[in-house]
Every structure is written in C-alpha cells, then in structure tokens.
Amino acid sequence: MEDFVAYIIKNLVSKPEEVAVSSSDDQEQICIEIRVAAEDVGKVIGRRGNTINALRTIVRTVATRLGRKAQVELIQPDQTSRVLMQESPEEEAPEEEPALT
C-alpha cells in the first residue's frame, strides 16, 4: 500500500524526488506517513482537503478489504509535529443561539 500511495503523491507534486512515504502497522491498523516539500503541502491537501480526503478514502477502502483500519498522516516539513488528517465527511456549522429580544 505504501508504494501505491507514493505513486499517487508523486504524480500530484512538483518535486516528486522529495516525496517520502512510510508506514507502520500492527494487526488491526496501518498508519501511512507522507512527507513532501514545503511548497507541495497545499497540493497534497487540496482545496478544503478534498485531495487528501480522497486519498484517505481509497486507502481506507483497501484496508477494510484486508480487515484493518487505516490512517493517513501528512508530516509538515518545517515542523516537528504531525498534522493528522482526520475524516470529516460533513463539516457541521456551529449552532447559533437564539437572539434575546
């Protein structure tokens, strides 16, 4: 699955030589970490997260067929922390409180 994700990401970015995909897995879950050049982070995420969410959907579907769960993380090149791309199929609008009159 690691090679598959790397293939997709390398075809999205302008610096494919800087793409690094690694994975760690256990019996129930696989975690795929993606590292790209700083200027390619936006291309991987896409508008409103559509690109990374589509990739996550594909990875999750394949993992489900293997009887496992999947998680895709995009590692920011200029930060030491991880940015976890969590599933958010529908973003809920905050509820407005009724105005007091």
Structure tokens at 72: 């895709």
Cα angle, residue 25 at apex, residues 43 and 6 outer, rounded to 5°: 30
Rounded CA-CA distance 60/72 in Å is 9
Maximum CA extent, the chain: 61
| Options 3.10.580.10, 3.10.450.50, 3.30.300.20, 3.40.50.300; CATH of 2-84 | 3.30.300.20
Please report the pLDDT score of residue 82 as a whole number.
Answer: 55
80-91 pLDDT, tens digit per residue, is 555 554 444 444
* Helix H or strand E segment including 26: none
The pLDDT tens digits of the residues spanning 10-30 come to: 999 999 999 999 999 888 899
Rounded distance, CA 99 to CA 101, Å? 6
